[in-house]
Structure 1
Amino acid sequence: MDEPGLWSAASTAPGERELKFRVLADRLRREIRQDGCAPGRRLPTEAQLAASFAVSISTVRRAVDELVAEGLVLRRQGSGTFVRDQRPEKVRPTLIGVVVPHSSFYYPQVLRGVEEVRAAAGARVQLTCSDYDQALELTMLDEMLEAGVDGLLLVPTLSGPEPAGAYLRRLTGLPVPAVLMERRGGSLDDATEHVCTHHAAGAYDGVRHLASLGHRRIGLALRSPSPTAAPVTAGYRQAVAELGGEPAEFESALEEWGPATADRCLRRLREAGCTAALCFGDRQAALLVSAARRAGLGVPGDLALVAYDDEIADIPDVPLTAVAPPKRLIGRTAAELLLNRLRNPGQPPRQILLRPGLTVRTSCGAADRSSKEILRRTPTPGHGSRARAWPASA
C-alpha cells in the first residue's frame, strides 16, 4: 500500500513554455532521488497520479515514460511501475577455462600470452592440465562448465578413444565458446575457432634456409607420434620438391630416440647424400650433433642442422638454429579471440595460422653471416623457454 502524502500534489502549474508532462516528470524524479524511495517501491497507479496532480492520464503516461527511459523506474506487466535500484550492479569478471596438456614444455610461453590478455581485461582464469588423456580432459571440461566458465581456451587431445573429427565436433557443440590453440581439424569441414602455428610453413622455411646456404640434399629427422609431425613433413616435402630434390626421411618413436637411434638416423642421412637436415625437434637435433661427433663429423661443416621448436635449442654444445613457433603470440591471439567472441557472439568463427620465425645460431653454418635476409627472419623476443626437461610433444 502506498503511503499517503508521498506523491501528493504540489504546485504543478507549468510556465508558458513548459509542458505539463515534463513538470510532472521533474516532480516524480525529485521524490524518487531526494525522498529516499526504496528500490522496489511501487508507484501509485496512473489514475492515482492523474488525480493527485490534476493532470490527464496521457500526461502521467508520458512523464513515467521519461523515467523508464532514464532507468529510474521499471514497468512490470500486470503489476505496476516500480522504483529501480540505482546502485551500480556488481559485474562478475569473465571466467576463462584453460586446458593444456602440461605446463612445463612449450606451453609456458603460450600461457604467458594468455595471462597478458587476461590481466588487461580484468578476467579470471581457471587452469588445468590434461596430460594428453582424453577421458580426463572431458571430465575437466565438465567441471569447468559446472564452475560457470564463460569461455574456454583448449589444446584438445586428438589422439584418444574418440576419433579426432568426432571429438572436434563435440567441442564445437559446447554450451560456451571455445577457441582451440595449436590444434585444428584436417579437412574443410572443421568448424572450430582456432589459433595455430603454421607448422608446414615453418618446416618449409627451415628447408629453404638450408638451401639458401648451398645445400641441395636435405633430410628430415622426425619424432612421433605428434600432431605437429604431419604438417612438418608436408612443409619439408613441398620445399624439397620445389628445389627439385628427393626426400630423405627418418622417423622413430619419441621414446626410442637416444644415442643408438641418432646413430641410425645419421647413417640414413649420410647414405642419402644429405649435407643438411631439418630435425623435429630440438632434442633430436642435439642427439644428431653427438652422433656426428662420434662418427668423426663436424656440425655444421659436414652436416648442417635446423631444429624445430626452439625450446632448448641454445643449450647444446653446438647451439642449434631453430624454427621458432610464436608460442606467446598464440596465447595472446587466442585469448583476444575468445574475449571478442564473448562480446560479439554472432560473428562467424575465425581460424588463424601464425607463421613461425627462424632463430639463426651455429648449427646451420650461417651464424657469422651478415645477411639482412637471415636477420629479418629472426622471431620477436619472448618466443622461447630455457626449460631443460626433454619434451613429450607439443
Structure 2
Amino acid sequence: MRESALQRHDRLLTLVRERGTARVADLADQLGVSPVTVRRDVESLAGRGLLDRAHGSVSWPRAERPADREGPVIGLLAPSATYYFAEVIRGAHEAAARAGARLVLRISDYRPSQDRSRTEGLLDSGAQGLLIAPTWRGPEDQAEHGAWLAALPVPCVLLERQAAPGTALSGLDRVCSDHGHGVLLALRHLVEQGHRAPLLVARGDSPTALAVRAGYELALGALGLRRPHPVIDSVPADRDPAGFERAVRALQAAVASGEATAALIHNDVDAIQMVQRLGELGVRVPQDLAVVAYDDEVAALADTPLTAVAPPKREVGRQATRLLVERLAESLAAEQGETAETGQALAPGARRHVELLPRLRVRASCGAPASKTV
C-alpha cells in the first residue's frame, strides 16, 4: 500500500534527527520521492516548529537559551515525533526555550521494550530532568515495562499517560489531556443536533484510544443515553486492510439499519479514510451519518472537513515542561541547602496530576454551522 504523508514525515524527521543537518536532495533520494515533495514536507514540518530550514538544507531545531546563563538539560522521550506528539514536543520545546533550558529528544518508535534504554540514553547525554510518554498500549505494557520509572534518579513528569492507581508510578507528576471530557463534548454536540446516541468507532492500541473508549461509556451515562451498538473496533487501513474494511462495513450496516445516525471516530486518519470508503458504499456525510473525529491533527483537511475533538497537545508539552523546571529548581535549592524563614530545608512541592480540557472544533461533517469551537 502507498506510503501516507504522515509515514513519510516520520521517516524524514528520523533522518534529520539522526544527521542533525541534511540536504533536501539527499533526503529525496533516501525517501524515494521527488525534491518537490520533500520541500513541501519540510515547509509543513518547519511551520510546526519541528525542523529549521535553510537554503537547500534542513536541520533539527535547537532551543535557544539566553547567552548569559547555562540552563538545565531536559530529556524528552516520545513514541513518535509526528502526528499527535508533534504538537506535544513543540509545546515542550517552546517552554524549555523560555526557561533557558536545552531540550533533548529521543523516540521509542512505539516499542515499549525500548523505553528504558532510550531513557538511559537521555540520562547519559546529561538530562537533569525527564519528560516521558511511555509506549503503554494497555495495562499489561505498564505492568511489564513501567516499574523502572519509579526509580529514576532525576525528576520526571509523565506526558499524556496515567499510571494505574495504587502503583509506585501513580505518585509521579503527570500532565494529561482529559479525554473523557473530550468525548463528552462530542456526544453532547451530536445529541444537541438531534441525533440519537452516537456510535463509537475506535482503535484499542494506545492510551488515548483506551481513554476514549472509557470516556464513551461515562459520557453515555452522564447524558442518560443507552449504547446504540457495540463499539466498532478500528484498525489502521495500511496495516490491516481486511480489518479496516470490516470496521467500515459494520458502520455502514449500523447506518443502513437505523442504529446509527452519528458516530465518533478515533482517530483523524481512520475517520478520513472511513468517510472516503463510506462514500464509495453510498453513505453520505453528513446527510446519512454525522461524524466527529478525535485528535484534530488533519481532520480539517478532509474533502468534507471533519468536526473534531482537539486535545490541548501543545499546552500539555508546555505545562509539563514548566512543572519539570519547577521540580529542578526545588532539587537545586535542596542541594544548596537553602532554607525557608523557619530555618528548615525547603521541601519539594506536592506532586501534581494535571488534566487539561480538550476543545471541540465544529466543521461540516456533523451538519452544524462550521467555524465554531466549543
1:3 aligned partner: none
8 Å contact kept, 1:323–1:358: yes
> Residue 180 of structure 2 contacts residue 215 of structure 2 at CA under 8 Å; is this kept in 1?
yes
Partners of 2:370 and 2:363 in 1: CA distance? 9
203, 209, 234: which one aligns with 1:223: 203
Instruction: Give the letter for the 1:365 counterpart.
Output: G
Residue by residue over 1:251-296, the C-alpha shift from the partner in whole angstroms, topping out at 9 and shown as x without a partner, is 1333335455423332145436111000011122223322332232
Distance 1:292 1:147, change over 3 A: closer
- Equivalent position amino acid for 1:252 in 2: S
The aligned counterpart of 1:319 is: 305
Retained in 2: the 8 A contact 1:153–1:181?
yes
Contact 2:136 2:206 in 1 (8 A): no
- The superposition leaves residues 142-194 of structure 1 with CA deviations (integer Å, 9 ceiling, x where unpaired) of 22222321100111122499741464442122000011111111325411211
Which residue does 2:232 correspond to in 1?
A: 250
1:354 has 2:356 as partner? yes
Residue aligning to 1:183: 161
Structure 1 counterpart of 2:178: 198
CA contact (8 A) 1:263 1:291 kept: no
Partners of 1:147 and 1:287 in 2: CA distance: 41
Q: 1:122-141 maps to which residues of 2 (within 5 A)?
A: 122-141=100-119
The 1-side partners of 2:73 and 2:196 are apart by 52
Amino acid of the residue matched to residue 289 of structure 2?
Answer: L
How far residue 315 of structure 1 moved from its aligned partner, in angstroms, is 1.7
| 1:128–1:313 Cα change, 3 Å | same
Pairing 1:280–2:266 present: yes
**Residue matched to 2:329:** 343
Aligned residues of 2:138 and 2:206 also touching (Cα < 8 A): no
Cα distance in 2 for residues equivalent to 1:208 and 1:350:
29
In 2, the alpha carbon distance for the partners of 1:108 and 1:331 equals 10
Contact 2:359 2:373 in 1 (8 A): no
Query: What is the DSSP-based 3-state SS (H/G/I as helix, E as strand, rest coil) of the residue aligned with 2:117?
Result: helix
Cα deviation digits, residues 96-145 of structure 1 (max 9, x gap): 11111111211121111111111111111111101122332211212222
2:316 match: 330
Structure 1 residues 313 and 163, CA gap change in structure 2 (3 angstroms): closer
Report SS of the residue matched to 1:332. Answer: helix
Tell me, yes or no, if the aligned pair for 1:198 and 1:354 is still in contact at 8 Å: yes
Q: Distance in 1 between matches of 2:119 and 2:105?
A: 11
Letter in 1 for 2:104: Q
Q: Is the 8 A contact 1:250 1:268 kept in 2?
A: no
What secondary structure is seen at the aligned counterpart in 2 of 1:217?
Answer: coil
Identity of aligned residues (%): 38
Unaligned runs of 5+ in 2: 1-67, 332-347
Q: What amino acid sits opposite 1:297 in the alignment?
A: V
Residues 100 and 130 of structure 1 are in contact (CA less than 8 Å); yes or no, is this contact kept in structure 2? yes
| Equivalent in the alignment of 1:308 | 294
SS in 2 for 1:187: coil
Q: CA deviation at 1:323?
A: 0.2
**Matching residue of 1:101:** 79
The DSSP-based 3-state class of the residue aligned with 1:314 is helix
Quick one: distance in 2 between partners of 1:243 and 1:161? 29
Matches within 5 A, 1:42-191: 92-159=70-137, 163-165=141-143, 167-189=145-167, 190-191=170-171
Task: For 1:351, give the aligned amino acid.
Answer: H
* SS across alignment from 2:203: strand
Contact conserved, 2:362 with 2:370, CA < 8 A, in 1?
Answer: no
Separation in 1, partners of 2:166, 2:103: 31
Evaluate the alpha carbon distance shift between residue 217 and residue 92 of structure 1 in structure 2; reply closer, same or farther with a 3 A threshold. closer
TM-score, normalised with respect to structure 1: 0.67
CA gap 1:296/1:136 in 2 versus in 1, 3 angstroms: closer
- The one-letter code matched in structure 2 to 1:366 is A
**Partners in 1 of 2:117 and 2:355 — Cα distance?**
29
Q: Deviations over 1:298-347 (max 9, x none)?
A: 21111000000111101221110000011110100000010011112411
Looking at structure 2, the residues matched to 117 and 368 of structure 1 have their Cα atoms a distance apart, in angstroms, of 32
Larger Rg: 1
After the TM superposition, which of the residue ranges 249-258 and 341-350 deviates more from structure 2? Answer: 249-258
Q: 1:97 to 1:262 in 2, by over 3 A?
A: same
Q: Equivalent residue of 2:288, what SS?
A: coil
Structure 1 259/316 Cα, relative in aligned 2: closer, same or farther at 3 Å? farther
Q: How far apart, in 2, do the equivalents of 1:226 and 1:247 lie?
A: 24
SS in structure 1 opposite 2:301?
A: coil
Question: 1:354–1:128: structure 2 CA closer, same or farther, 3 Å change rule?
Answer: same
Q: 1:298 to 1:163 in 2, by over 3 A?
A: closer
C-alpha separation between the residues in 2 aligned to 1:244 and 1:250? 18
Q: How far, CA to CA, are the matches of 1:253 and 1:224 in structure 2?
A: 8
Where does residue 340 of structure 2 map in the other structure? Answer: none
Q: Secondary structure at the match of 1:175?
A: coil
8 Å Cα contact 1:199-1:232 kept in structure 2: yes
